[in-house]
Amino acid sequence: MHIDLDQVDFVTETALTIRQSRRRTTVPKEIVDRLGLTPEDKLRWVLLVDGTVILTRVRRPVNGDR
């Protein structure tokens, strides 16, 4: 995958926590703040065949949009 570094706004790492059947990851505060994420928001995880994971915010419909 090619990433144009001119398009990168922020890079960080977080730990993955696995306890029994529960899997958790923490969204960095910087990302939450920049995207304006709230507890009602959803994130979409996409796994590519090369092991790359793409994480995006699922946009909520705007009044009347589907």
What does the radius of gyration of the chain's CA atoms come to, in whole angstroms?
14
CA atoms within 13 A on the CB side of 18: 1
DSSP-derived pairing of the beta strands 42-47 and 53-58: antiparallel
Please tell me the distance from the alpha carbon of residue 24 to that of residue 18, in angstroms, as a whole number.
Answer: 6
What six digits make up the tokens of 63? 């009044």
Fold (topology level) of 5-58: Pemi-like Protein 1; Chain: D (2.10.260)
Spell out the per-residue pLDDT of the chain, length 66, in tens. Answer: 778 888 889 998 888 888 888 888 889 999 999 999 998 899 999 999 989 899 999 987 776 655
